[in-house]
Amino acid sequence: MQDWGSEKVLKDEEALCLDATSYGNVARFINHRCLDANLVEIPVEVETPDHHYYHLAFFTTRKVNALEELTWDYGIDFDDHDHPIKAFRCRCGSKFCRNMKRSNRSRSAAVR
Ligand SMILES: C[S@@+](CC[C@H](N)C(=O)[O-])C[C@H]1O[C@@H](n2cnc3c(N)ncnc32)[C@H](O)[C@@H]1O
């Protein structure tokens, strides 16, 4: 189930997926950063006489310096090996990197 915000929990059949594989704008170039990314996404309902649909609006979570990279936590579970899409190897560099934690875990397991 998707939970966007808090008021409404969508059932799977009502959930929306935005896929920028074939079409998108400059937001397609935003890279992932684990946990301490400087952007969050807010779904914004766009209303026309015929349709209601969503855009994802990105907002910064803190002051961003000139030339600082904008990053967004894609919400990937790097431990989910059953996911149909294989996750990339994260190189976000965050000290909270979920992929890094996984690498460290396997390394310390190998040392034992
Ligand atoms: C939406 S695109 C981001 C733009 C992409 N870097 C580019 O130059 O076109 C997502 C892809 O970028 C790469 N990517 C994004 N964040 C990454 C990260 N933290 N570590 C490694 N690769 C990353 C992955 O290949 C991912 O599938």
72 closest CA partner among 107, 35, 112, 101: 35
Greater confidence (69 vs 24) lies with: 69
* 71 strand-pairing partners: 31
Q: Number of C-alpha atoms within 13 angstroms, CB side, residue 58?
A: 16
Residue 111's pLDDT band, with cuts at 50, 70 and 90, is very low
Domain enclosing residue 92, as ranges: 2-111
Whether the pLDDT of residue 107 is over 70: the answer is no
102 closest CA partner among 41, 23, 92: 92
Q: What is the pLDDT of residue 112?
A: 46
Ligand 1 site: residues with CB under 6 angstroms?
28-29, 31-32, 88, 90-92
Token pair of 27 as six digits: 């937001």
CATH of the domain at 81: 2.170.270.10
ipTM of the complex: 0.99
Q: For the chain, what is the largest distance between any 2 Cα atoms, rounded to a whole number of angstroms?
A: 64
Domain count, the chain: 1
Q: What is the Å distance from ligand 1's center to 53 Cα?
A: 26
Residue 110's pLDDT band, with cuts at 50, 70 and 90, is very low
- Write out pLDDT tens, residues 40-59: 999 898 888 888 888 889 99
Query: Mutate which of 25, 30, 32 to test ligand 1's pocket (most atoms within 8 Å of Cβ)?
Result: 32
Q: What is the Å distance from ligand 1's center to 46 Cα?
A: 28
**CA distances, 12 to each of 2, 3, 30, 44, 46 (Å):** 7, 10, 26, 19, 21
The atom of ligand 1 lying closest to the CA of 93 is 19
- Write out pLDDT tens, residues 61-84: 999 999 999 999 999 999 998 988
